[in-house]
Amino acid sequence: MPAERPRPTIADVAERAGVSKGLVSFALNGRPGVSPQTRDRILEVARELGWQPSLRARALSVNRAFALGLVITRDPEIITGDPFYPSFIAGVERELAPAGQALVLSVVPDEEAELAAYRKLVADRRVDGVFITDLRHDDARIELARELNVPAVTLGHPETPSPFPAVSMDDRAGIEAAVDHLVRLGHRRIAHVAGPARMLHGSRRRRAFEDAMARAGLPADLVVETDFRAADGARATRDLLAPPDAPTAIVYANDPMAIAGLGFAQRTGLRVPDDLSITGFDGSDVGEHLFPALSTVATEAAGWGAVAARVLLRSIAGEEPGDTDLPPARFVPRESTAPAPPSPPANG
Amino acid sequence: MPAERPRPTIADVAERAGVSKGLVSFALNGRPGVSPQTRDRILEVARELGWQPSLRARALSVNRAFALGLVITRDPEIITGDPFYPSFIAGVERELAPAGQALVLSVVPDEEAELAAYRKLVADRRVDGVFITDLRHDDARIELARELNVPAVTLGHPETPSPFPAVSMDDRAGIEAAVDHLVRLGHRRIAHVAGPARMLHGSRRRRAFEDAMARAGLPADLVVETDFRAADGARATRDLLAPPDAPTAIVYANDPMAIAGLGFAQRTGLRVPDDLSITGFDGSDVGEHLFPALSTVATEAAGWGAVAARVLLRSIAGEEPGDTDLPPARFVPRESTAPAPPSPPANG
DNA sequence: CTGAAAGCGCTTACAG
DNA sequence: CTGAAAGCGCTTACAG
């Protein structure tokens, strides 16, 4: 082990510059009340010495962590393949790095561990604020964050009253556009493979589907709820395609399920999109390279992350950012959607 | 804003228990030299007061961050779809949470930003050690970590001499098994869509491919280098399939490229696996649900993360863990590989 | 077994 | 414009 050369502290700088520690601190932080000459001398000495601020010491004196917390709750199976979080995190970092903030990430298997993770993060004062993603109905995290007195930002509006700013993206628009597109293509039997009803975006996308169907004068009777996993997508597709009056189009609540659904359909000999149209959600880039290329709803997760980070930073700084609405999710038609096949002869 | 009720400190505990702060600290940390009765009293008072240790204060006095750093270098395009990091991180967290450690994550777009991120992480003393993943040839991070005097663990063995423990998984075995499998199925023209040569696992998988081909007495003349992106996989497949002596099987260096390659092949009317066999790498769960289900090489990224975290923690604790070899990557045959098609009539 | 004190490296009133 | 001092909340020799 090479001996650790101890890092210079402001005391070293002060001594060498012949001033007090306090003055060094003022000069370094660009506070007013230091004459230009002494400031320059102090800065010069700091540079010579290779002084670097101790975040730890600052953290203790100003009572800040200079970090934001993200906890992701996913069973390990589902985490892979979902394009949302990697992009979201990249967007968050784009905002944090220049601000000198760090991201502390917690990945937990279930909701119990999730609450514990938030508690731990703020008990340890590891972060100055937290992201609340994947909102659920009656989400306990809103109350918890309030109780812990930690700044937070929610992705989307929680159902329960929330003191925290929300950064929302209208995903209804994307689902509706998908349904409208299919209806225009002549589809009448359209199914929806939904996310879990306990998740707000799961049930919201489902409601958007139902509303769009209602507007088109069609029954929304073909809906199956899932856990967002690829395997669920395959299973749901099997169940939907089994009956004689099977749908001619399926709207999936995420891309991995749509890809698995596509696989299942092809496996049974159905041609996509000739026999069956399919749409995904979230725009994984692999979907673009499938055959047929997956029609999907693009969500700009990175932009969402960047804005959420900015809002959280502002609310930590004591501002009251208010809610912000991102541009709505966009339907991206590709190859997996086509005109409905001619209806089979009505028999019976 | 509800008024922040100030958290009790050890000074409060000490006062209430009628002892000194030092003694409280000893009792709380289970140090010897505190009589059982006073220890119990102190613990009791701490509980009554709802005392929680200040990680910040501890960090400053013991000069530790109680956190590990992971920096991921990816252009935003590629990050989505790759199943490795989400699983790896889940494994890391499985180890860190019980140890009271946190993960600070940095996502950067290129190698320059990557080095800056490592520097910043240790300059700020945000972490006690760092993971070095996705090793490259002449990887500057080894030297940087040594220079910064920060404990590190590498995923795999770097080429340059390294003072850091390595946690390795033999990915050669998986590639070789894939090639052997294809050879046994009668394939003679086998191509490889490789990762970037500057990345160690990119070139190592390529070499494994070449070696396996050589052992089978086959030329490894069909290799195209890529950047690991899905789009690259499609492009490479197009280039490979264009000439008259196109391969009957393609071994891809990751799953997203294999999926895109599958899509491209199907698009041109080739039947997979009848006309063309395909294998991936890393085992995304979506691959399992494609039609045909993707034969791939499974890597146990979560286990890798857990072991790497444990090793890094031990080396921070001053042990010298030494290198560890994980079970080799396993080839998982599914549906995308089948006997080679009968050779076309030799003409010319 | 216990106490009093210094130290970790900053920031921030308070005085001059 | 500048200095001396206290404080953030712990840990850790050093004495007894």
pLDDT of residue B1: 36
Average pLDDT, chain B: 92
| Chain A residues within 8 A of B99 when measuring between CB atoms | none
Query: Would you call A64 an interface residue with chain B, using a CB distance cutoff of 8 Å?
Result: no
Residue B161 burial (CB count, 10 A):
7
Q: Which two tokens stand for residue B157?
A: 């063995």
Whose CA is closest to B288, among A193, A232, A297? A232
Query: Would you call A309 an interface residue with chain B, using a CB distance cutoff of 8 Å?
Result: no
**Which residues of B, range 230-269, sit inside 8 Å of A by Cβ?**
230-231, 233-234, 256, 259-260, 262-264, 266-267
Q: Which of A60-64, B76-80, B254-258 shows the lowest per-residue confidence on average (mean pLDDT)?
A: B76-80
Specify the residue for token string 């070499």: B207
The tens digit of pLDDT for each residue in B185-234 reads 999 999 999 999 999 999 999 999 999 999 999 999 999 999 999 999 99
Domain extents for chain B?
A: 10-52, 63-169+300-328, 172-298
Average pLDDT, chain A: 92
Specify the residue for token string 């590990």: B68
pLDDT of residue A347: 45
CA of A62 to C1' of C12 (A): 10
pLDDT score of B332 more than 80? yes
Q: DSSP assignment of B251-315, as one string?
A: EESSHHHHHHHHHHHHHTT--TTTT-EEE-SS--TTGGGSSSPPBEEE--HHHHHHHHHHHHHHH
Query: Would you call B298 an interface residue with chain A, using a CB distance cutoff of 8 Å?
Result: no
| Chain B residues within 8 A of A284 when measuring between CB atoms | 80-81
Measure the CA–CA gap between A286 and B233, rounded to whole angstroms: 10
Q: DSSP assignment of A215-267, as one string?
A: HTT-----EEE--S-HHHHHHHHHHHHSSTT--SEEEESSHHHHHHHHHHHHH
The tens digit of pLDDT for each residue in B244-302 reads 999 999 999 999 999 999 999 999 999 999 999 999 998 888 999 999 999 999 999 99
pLDDT score of A2 more than 50? no
Is B63-169+300-328 the same fold as B10-52?
no
pLDDT of residue A348: 35
Considering only CA atoms, give the Rg of chain A.
Answer: 26
pLDDT score of B29 more than 90? no
A interface test, pick of B55, B63, B80 with most A CB neighbours within 10 Å: B80
CA atoms within 13 A on the CB side of A344: 10
Measure the CA–CA gap between A304 and A293, rounded to whole angstroms: 25
pTM score of the predicted model: 0.94
Which CATH code is given to the segment(s) A10-52?
1.10.260.40
Q: In chain A, whose CA is at the least distance from the CA of B7? A: A123
Instruction: Identify the bridge partners of residue A251 per DSSP, sorted by sequence position.
Output: A192, A279
pLDDT of residue B80: 62
CB contact under 8 A, A80 and B87: yes
Measure the CA–CA gap between A72 and B318, rounded to whole angstroms: 31
Query: Where does the pLDDT of residue A142 fall: very low under 50, low under 70, confident under 90, or very high at 90 and above?
Result: very high
Q: Could you say which of A77, A126, A290 has the minimum Cβ distance to residue B285?
A: A77
Judge contact between B223 and B194, C-beta under 8 A: yes
CB contact under 8 A, B123 and A52: yes
Pick the CATH number of B63-169+300-328 from 1.10.357.10, 3.30.450.40, 3.40.50.300, 3.40.50.2300: 3.40.50.2300
Tell me, rounded to whole angstroms, the distance of Cα A309 from its chain centroid: 11
* Beta-carbon pairs below 8 A across chains A and B: 178
Q: In chain A, whose CA is at the least distance from the CA of B68? A: A104
Judge contact between B288 and A77, C-beta under 8 A: no
- Please state at what angle helix A36-49 crosses helix A10-17, rounded to 10 degrees: 120
Which CATH code is given to the segment(s) B172-298?
3.40.50.2300
CB contact under 8 A, B81 and A284: yes
**Which residues of B, range 177-206, sit inside 8 Å of A by Cβ?**
none
**Residue nearest D2, CA–C1′ metric:** A23
Residue B21, CB, strand D, below 7 Å = yes
Q: For a pLDDT cut of 90, what percent of chain B falls above it?
A: 78
* Residues by Cβ under 7 A, strand C: A 6-7, 9-11, 21-22, 24-26, 28-29, 51-54, 56-58, 60-62; B 18-23, 26, 32-38, 57, 60-61, 63
pLDDT score of A3 more than 50? no
Measure the CA–CA gap between A151 and A145, rounded to whole angstroms: 7
B interface test, pick of A56, A84, A127 with most B CB neighbours within 10 Å: A56
B interface test, pick of A112, A124, A271 with most B CB neighbours within 10 Å: A124
End-to-end CA separation in angstroms for chain A: 85
Residue B20 burial (CB count, 10 A):
13
Residue A65, classified by CB atoms within 10 Å of its CB into exposed (0-12), middle (13-18) or buried (19+), is: buried
Q: Is B201 helix (H, G, I), strand (E, B) or coil?
A: helix
Q: Could you say which of B81, B256, B290 has the minimum Cβ distance to residue A263?
A: B290
